[in-house]
Structure 1
Amino acid sequence: MALRESFAIGNVRVRAGSTKEVELPITRLVTGGDVSLPVRVVHGREPGPTVWVNAAIHGDEVMGVEVIREALATLSARTFRGTLVAVPVVNVLGFMTGDRYLPDRRDLNRSFPGSARGSLASRIAHLLMTEVVAKCDVGIDLHTAADRRTNLPQIRADLDDPTTRKLAEAFGAPVMLHARLRDGSLRQAARDRGATVLLYEAGEALRFEEEPIAVGVEGVRRVLASLGMIAPLSEDDDDRIAPVECRTSAWVRARGTGILHLEVKLGEHVEEGRRLGGLSDTFGRRVRLVHADRSGIVIGLTRAPIVNAGDALVHIASPVTS
């Protein structure tokens, strides 16, 4: 059987049945050092879909980097079908300093599809779109919560699209949330190019957490298996709990200022009106209670002990009822 054609990326070609690391030039530092986008390509012997997985579009979202590392360690190009393009760190400059944004304070995930002659954020977005996304059928975008927040492992995607929904179910996160597209996001730009995209949210910024990483690794592998790129996983799917579908979500916000003490955990089901915690002054006197304004699953929490009126405290998603 003749081998597949090699996979072109940057100025190199990756032979079928091999894995290759590629550096895509981004910019040069003032010190003279070059900054590149790190990419690993797993180009299987047999034909199949082309999928990308990326992490650290925000430089403080390190969890996805470990998800990609562990997922790649399980793959062999000799038995792989199709092609996987892995980009563990998209925001390289922010990642090096532990900063969510780029040096000019732009949010990379509001800069897509980008431009070859735009800002630094726009150029990185354009590079990812032209060298990676444009060559792929499916993408998995790995994220964590914003600074001083944490998220329950969840997939955010267009659940009204049958193909996307099937892959979201295959990923197997505890919750899959129907989420609108955000202007300038990678998910929106990739969808405009015709790709199917899942966005995985889990854990906290600047932290490795065992459960979000494990859910992410297994989710990536389940998606690859559902696409026929690797063998089905050995686990018994009959014993696996199906993701809870949610169509809407909202944050319960502080109605005053104080020191926050929460009484709920990620993944808990809460009823409307339930006490979620309270705000105290610096001497411990309770100044206000926090109650759920809807029933649902807790999919996000603040980790900030000191809050001001209007701050987001508890993110509740409403499950679809049959």
Structure 2
Amino acid sequence: MTTTLGTASAGPGEIDTGRLEVGETRDGSPFGLPVAVVNGESRGKTLYMQAASDGDELNGVGVIQRIVPQFDPAELSGTILIVGIVNYHAFQVAEHRNPIDDTKMNRTYPGNEGGTSSERIAAATFDNAMRADLILDLHQGSTSRMLDEVRVRCGKRHRLHEQCLELAKAFGCGYVLDQKGPDGQLARTAPDEGIPTVDPELGGAVGWDEHSIQAGVEGVFNVLRYYDFLEGDQQLEPQTRASGFKQYGAPAGGLVTMHRELGDRVRPGDAIFEITTPFGEPKAEVTADSDGILWRIRRLPQVATGEYVCSVGTDIGEY
């Protein structure tokens, strides 16, 4: 059976790429999102993947760039639907938000086909995501430094919570944030329609980071083996799970020196960072006020009073 996504069309055992038209640019020219269809030789489940719903989060694009050439449809059972770049306008100018409507795309799902630019793109991608049995929405921690982790955003009381956790565990980054997400996130909205969905947050970088991209590539293939798209015995490995965040800001202006590295365990009273003058004179030291793991760190050292510095994942457990 031939499968289409936009202008991409692939019969069993085929791969095709194309465009999913979603509107027009300011000069009236049509534009489309880059899409791919990988149609396996044998029948099976359908996986939907997308990247760059935030235009400066490029590690997911790097994952897709690397995995598609590795796919052999003759060895695949089922179908993979891919939207390689969701936030078309933001990607063009390397910005986080869609500059046409100043909107964060991953707050607009399920979208509105007659709405704003972001809502129209969200509606088009959501409609295609609803064709799948599983969804991976590839993200990164914007330009901050962050652990490679997978986020379960449906909330612990959701009927699909355990299935989303299983998908996160199958991806296998080693860290999971299990915290209900804001309204309008794909990973929050799609489970309401019965589709297990997670958003891998593949580190954080200006441009992209090869280590996190490789973690994403491995994660996608882990999922494909675990859910029988590909042959292979994929075992679930224990993951470190956090259920909350504690954010730390700067109590003074100056330059930040971190005393802990990403992934370090911290306990109340442990020094996390200090702030000095440009001449190295101490101004303030910030200590942890709860148990947790250093999860995310700002990239630039200079801070103003109250500016974000880092986040600690809290309520830590293994599962």
TM-score under structure 2 normalisation?
0.91
Instruction: Answer yes or no: is the 8 Å Cα contact 2:8–2:35 preserved in 1.
Output: no
Quick one: which amino acid aligns to residue 150 of structure 1? R
CA distance in 1, matches of 2:171, 2:318: 21
1:30 offset after TM fit, Å? 2.9
CA distance in 1, matches of 2:237, 2:109: 35
CA distance in 2, matches of 1:249, 1:145: 14
Among 111, 114, 118, the alignment partner of 2:115 is 118
1:208-287 matches, cutoff 5 A: 208-232=208-232, 242-287=238-283
Question: In the alignment, what sits opposite 1:154?
Answer: 149
CA distance in 2, matches of 1:321, 1:139: 24
Quick one: which amino acid aligns to residue 153 of structure 1? D
Q: Which moved more, 1:249-258 or 1:291-300?
A: 249-258
1:89 offset after TM fit, Å? 0.7
1:59-138 matches, cutoff 5 A: 59-103=55-99, 104-130=101-127, 132-138=128-134
Q: What percent of counterpart residues are identical?
A: 27
Classify the secondary structure of the residue corresponding to 2:74.
coil
1:320 has 2:317 as partner? yes
Question: In the alignment, what sits opposite 1:9?
Answer: 5
CA deviations on 1:212-266 (whole Å, 9 max, x unpaired) are: 11111101110111100012269xx5xx963212222221222222221112211
1:187 offset after TM fit, Å? 1.4
Classify the secondary structure of the residue corresponding to 1:78.
helix
CA distance in 2, matches of 1:78, 1:112: 34
Instruction: Answer yes or no: is the 8 Å Cα contact 1:222–1:232 preserved in 2.
Output: no
Question: In the alignment, what sits opposite 1:170?
Answer: 170
Instruction: Answer yes or no: is the 8 Å Cα contact 2:33–2:84 preserved in 1.
Output: no
Unaligned runs of 5+ in 1: none
Unaligned runs of 5+ in 2: none
Classify the secondary structure of the residue corresponding to 2:244.
strand
Instruction: Answer yes or no: is the 8 Å Cα contact 1:266–1:299 preserved in 2.
Output: yes
CA distance in 1, matches of 2:36, 2:9: 12
1:203 offset after TM fit, Å? 2.2
Question: In the alignment, what sits opposite 1:38?
Answer: 34
Instruction: Answer yes or no: is the 8 Å Cα contact 1:144–1:202 preserved in 2.
Output: yes
Instruction: Answer yes or no: is the 8 Å Cα contact 1:144–1:150 preserved in 2.
Output: no
1:11 offset after TM fit, Å? 5.8
1:299-314 matches, cutoff 5 A: 299-314=295-310
RMSD of equivalent CA atoms: 2.0
1:97 offset after TM fit, Å? 1.0
TM-score under structure 1 normalisation?
0.91
1:193 has 2:193 as partner? yes
Quick one: which amino acid aligns to residue 203 of structure 1? G
Instruction: Answer yes or no: is the 8 Å Cα contact 1:63–1:206 preserved in 2.
Output: no
Classify the secondary structure of the residue corresponding to 1:221.
helix
Instruction: Answer yes or no: is the 8 Å Cα contact 1:154–1:200 preserved in 2.
Output: yes
